[in-house]
Amino acid sequence: MTRKQKRLGLIGLAGLVLSSAVGLVLYGLSSSVTYFQSPSDIAEKQVEIGQRIRLGGLVEDESLDKSRGSVIHFRVTDQAEAISVQYKGILPDLFREGQGIIAEGFIDQKGVFIADTVLAKHDESYMPKEVYETLKEDGHWMAEEQAAAAAEQGSNVN
Amino acid sequence: MIIEIGHFALILALVVAAVQSVFPVWGAVKSDHRLMGMAPSLAVAMFLLTCVAFAALTWAYLTSDFSLLNTYQNSHSDKPIIYKISGVWGNHEGSILLWVLILVLFGALVAVFSRNIPQRLRAATLGTQGWVSFAFLLFVVVASNPFGRIEPAPMQGTGLNPMLQDVGLAIHPPILYVGYVGFSIVFAFAAAALILGKLDAAWARWVRPWILVSWIFLTLGIAMGSYWAYYELGWGGWWFWDPVENASFMPWLTGTALLHSAIVMERRDALKVWTVFLALLTFSLSLLGTFLVRSGVLTSVHAFAVDPARGLFILAILLIFVGGSLTLFAWRAPLLRQGGLFSPISREGSLVLNNLFLTTACAAVFVGTLYPLILEAFSGDKISVGAPFFNLTFGPIMVPVLILMPFGQLLAWKRGDLWGVSQRLTLAFAISVIATIMLVWFMGASSTSIMTALGFGLAFWAIFGSLWEIVDRSQILKVGFARAVPRIMGFTPTVWSTVLGHAGLGFTVLGIVTTMAFESERVQVMHPGETLEQNGYHVTYERSWTQPGPNYDELVSRYTLRKGGDVVGVMEPSKRAYRASGRPMSETSIATFGFSQVYFATGDNDENGGIVTRIYFKPLITLIWIGTLIMSLGGTLALFDRRLRVGAPVTARRRKSKAEGAIPVAASPAE
């Protein structure tokens, strides 16, 4: 083989690998990313049953129900709309009513959000960024001190 | 006073960095020996000054000097001494200072140890390293100063985030940083070669030890971070495809590609321009990682403080260095002499494939990591790209790497015989198939999917195919054990490093596949005396009690783990409440059986005295980290080989020819 042929072969192979990778990446981005939704988004947009989403908002006050053993129920609100959430497992250490969380899962036929992951802040003054921004956009974020604190510090681990 | 000395030393280091950035490079271009001669002493001076600054900050932490804003916000006098020390880098300012300390350490190491390289290259390299040091020292002094005072000084600090009060934190950042930042010196070597317009096989030989050291530490750092997340976060996950993890994984992928392309460059004087490009790319990705982690773009345990000014400063550093180095590359690389030709079926051909797949895999990770950030910036849509995306893209790209690895090891340089190599590997293939069947049988054939079985096969192929080089080189099957042993003893460290590096990867893959396919989880409310059964284990919840720790109070729950009637473990996971901050924190309890683990985490007590208990069964999970340790060991052996050849090139070569002389030299270096 001449130098030119070898080079063409190499470029061809690299092109093949890269184009397959681009195909995989595009397919992956269209099929396996999860969108972040607030309870209002869910109420408006009619999210498909069974579709994976990330739900963000505040845990509604006096909505936490641990009476049914390891299956925990609570409601997530953005002060305009709220949605029931069901989660089996151990809640994060800093999970409390009135605080911002992100839950990952899907909505079942009854309109209940079945979460398989619940992320809360890992820091006293932390509000998940997405939650904070949604609340701010919707005009429901009043407590300035808390907002400043949330902007100052951040930590979650996912 | 000590604090002010530290602050002053830091500013002096910045001044030294400014001098370092200009004169040695100028001297290298103009061949002025006096200017070039400044470089090593400046590098050492910069290191010593940064050491003084770092020591001063550490002193403030050790003595709990809360007149310092940094210690007040991140420390507490009750903290055990080890966390007082690790608290130095458990915050934004301190961690950046550690970053800089390691940066200048590498400069000083090159100044002291790389005496055998040409003066011009060394001066230009240290000068380029000076630019990076200057940029980051400027950042520390201007935007991220750890030496700010508060007046009046508070009596007590606010404490360190409890998640960071762990031995894992004490050692993970320094080790990871040595890897991350170590690539800066490789970057500097590449930039220096471009500036001087001289790039040859010798360059690769001088740079390779630095690539190896950085790669070893990066490997260990990532593995340690993974293990820390596994036991500390209480979710049983060992890799989340979190942007912060990806930030360190991307330089690892290109660094691994660089490690291999540098070998081709050293042995065959080929792939020169590509190797330089990878060197620039790898450190650019390290900088990108620093930006992602430290700027507050991402919310993560690693992002200590979200300060827009700091984010912009790091972004500016990132853009200047990435843009600058790519411009330098575009301008100077075409002037370099092209490397040699080679046949596609050869050792170097297989290494090109390795590079192709590793960089493509890195590109996929890059897209998945940055796409959400870019999408949000342009459309406002918030998405999360998680494990499903990376499993779908990264996984398939890495499969050919694992399949081809054993072939690459046995192919000869220049012109390989693919058919011959395949024949030599037949037995290794057969052993892998048998091992796969045995593992599938052991795990239960009915519960094993085809994909899992293929995953096992791939892992065993990587392990046995890599180890087969020992059999192949020693010809143990032909000459017998007694004659093969001396041959095996005579293998060069290079042989062992390849064998261990590749087999280690195989072990990691085996751990990943088994854990992903067979891990199981049980979440249940348990009352004292209650027993549950899962995976052949009987778990009994005994009782829980409260006890004080050095700076926290904890609720400990005791479980007895039985298998076949025998007690195999007493597990005591706990929930801690840190006194300084009142923050709760779960501590897991893990029992190891062989390579498998049983993992306990507890939730809250309910009204009836029941406790939410989460138990994970993780078969062969420790292989994931053991594999990375073996890989690092492989890297370390490669370093030893290098030292041999530098110290006494003739003896080393003679020894090599003696070891391989009797064998049909399939894979001996054709130098």
| A100-138: pLDDT as tens digits | 788 888 898 888 999 988 887 554 444 555 555 665 555
Instruction: Find the closest chain B residue to A24 by CA distance.
Output: B393
Integer CA distances (angstroms), A32 to A141, B213, B238, B264, B388, in order: 31, 37, 20, 38, 6
Question: Which value, in Å, is the radius of gyration of the alpha carbons in chain B?
Answer: 27
Interface of A with B in 101-140 (CB under 8 A): 104, 122-124, 126, 128-130
Cα separation, B101 vs B89, in Å, equals 11
B78-127 pLDDT, tens per residue? 888 888 888 898 888 999 999 999 999 999 999 998 878 899 999 999 99
- The answer to whether the CB atoms of A24 and B524 lie below 8 A apart is no
- Predicted confidence at residue B13, as pLDDT, reads 97
A54 touches chain B (CB under 8 A): yes
Q: Which positions in chain A touch B583 (Cβ < 8 Å)?
A: 93-94, 123-124
* Band of residue B391 on the pLDDT scale cut at 50, 70, 90: very high
A-interface mutation test, from B165, B384, B399, B614, most A Cβ less than 10 A away: B384
Burial label, B444 (beta-carbon count in 10 A; 0-12, 13-18, 19+): exposed
The number of angstroms, rounded, from the C-alpha of B190 to the middle of its chain's C-alpha atoms is 21
Cα separation, B455 vs B446, in Å, equals 16
Interface of A with B in 71-100 (CB under 8 A): 88-91, 93-94
- The answer to whether the CB atoms of A21 and B296 lie below 8 A apart is no
Q: Is the pLDDT of residue B644 over 80?
A: no
DSSP conformational letter for B149: B
B430 touches chain A (CB under 8 A): no
- The answer to whether the CB atoms of B393 and A130 lie below 8 A apart is no
State how beta strands A82-88 and A113-120 pair. parallel
Q: Which of A50-59, B300-309, B312-321, B332-341 has the highest mean pLDDT?
A: B312-321
Q: Is the pLDDT of residue B663 over 50?
A: no
The number of angstroms, rounded, from the C-alpha of B291 to the middle of its chain's C-alpha atoms is 17
Q: Is the pLDDT of residue B568 over 90?
A: yes
DSSP conformational letter for B199: -
Instruction: Find the closest chain B residue to A28 by CA distance.
Output: B389
Cα separation, A101 vs A72, in Å, equals 15
Q: Which positions in chain B touch A12 (Cβ < 8 Å)?
A: none
Helix locations, chain A, DSSP H: 3-31, 39-45, 129-137, 144-152
pTM, rounded to two decimals: 0.89
Tokens of B164: 């960071």
Q: Which positions in chain A touch B360 (Cβ < 8 Å)?
A: 17-18, 21
- The answer to whether the CB atoms of A29 and B352 lie below 8 A apart is no
- Predicted confidence at residue B298, as pLDDT, reads 67
- The answer to whether the CB atoms of A32 and B388 lie below 8 A apart is yes
- Predicted confidence at residue B107, as pLDDT, reads 95
Instruction: Give the residue with greater pLDDT, B186 vs B521.
Output: B186
Q: Which positions in chain A touch B228 (Cβ < 8 Å)?
A: none
Residues of chain A with pLDDT under 70: 1, 121-158
User: How far is the alpha carbon of A110 from chain B, nearest alpha carbon, in Å?
Assistant: 24
A19 touches chain B (CB under 8 A): no
Q: Which positions in chain B touch A17 (Cβ < 8 Å)?
A: 356-357, 360, 397
Q: Which positions in chain A touch B372 (Cβ < 8 Å)?
A: 33
- The answer to whether the CB atoms of A156 and B606 lie below 8 A apart is no
Q: How many CB pairs under 8 A join A and B?
A: 145
User: How far is the alpha carbon of A49 from chain B, nearest alpha carbon, in Å?
Assistant: 18
Q: Is the pLDDT of residue B306 over 60?
A: no
Which residue, B354, B621, B602, is CA-closest to B510? B621
Which residue, B624, B626, B619, B612, is CA-closest to B598? B619
A89 closest CB neighbour out of B302, B352, B614: B614
Tokens of B436: 């796969």
Instruction: Find the closest chain B residue to A102 by CA distance.
Output: B384
Cα separation, A105 vs B384, in Å, equals 12
> To the nearest 10°, the Cα dihedral for B13, B18, B21, B26?
-130
- The answer to whether the CB atoms of B385 and A29 lie below 8 A apart is yes
Instruction: Give the residue with greater pLDDT, B244 vs B127.
Output: B127
Cα separation, B150 vs B423, in Å, equals 73
Which residue, B642, B670, B645, is CA-closest to B216? B642
Q: Is the dihedral of CA B166, B167, B170, B173 positive or negative?
A: negative
Query: Do the Cβ atoms of B130 and B111 come closer than 8 Å?
Result: no
3-state secondary structure of B411: coil
A15 touches chain B (CB under 8 A): no
Which residue, B138, B54, B170, B169, is CA-closest to B102? B54
B51-73 pLDDT, tens per residue? 999 999 999 999 988 988 888 88
Cα separation, B287 vs B367, in Å, equals 17
Q: Which positions in chain B touch A64 (Cβ < 8 Å)?
A: none
Cα separation, B534 vs B542, in Å, equals 17
